[in-house]
Amino acid sequence: MNRKKKVKQTLLKQAKKARAKKASNSSKPRYISKAERAEQEAQAQANVESTPPETDSEQ
């Protein structure tokens, strides 16, 4: 195999691996740790509790 062909083959192989890795990450959701999930849940609870109930005073 001549040098140019070998270099081209190596670069194409690297590019193919990079494309495959990039494509597989886009379909997977970002990891959220247990602590972050608990914090988000606590914030959601606080938002629900702090929102005053709406009453229809126009009846």
pLDDT one-digit tens code per residue, 4-51 = 999 999 999 999 999 988 876 666 778 999 999 999 999 999 888 877
Q: What is the domain partition of the chain in residue ranges?
A: 1-27
pLDDT at 59 over 70: no
pLDDT of residue 58: 61
- pTM for the model: 0.40
pLDDT of residue 57: 64
Q: How many helices (H) and strands (E) does the chain have?
A: 2, 0
Using CA of residue 46, residue 47, residue 52, residue 54, what is the dihedral sign? Answer: negative
| pLDDT interval class at 3 (50, 70, 90) | very high
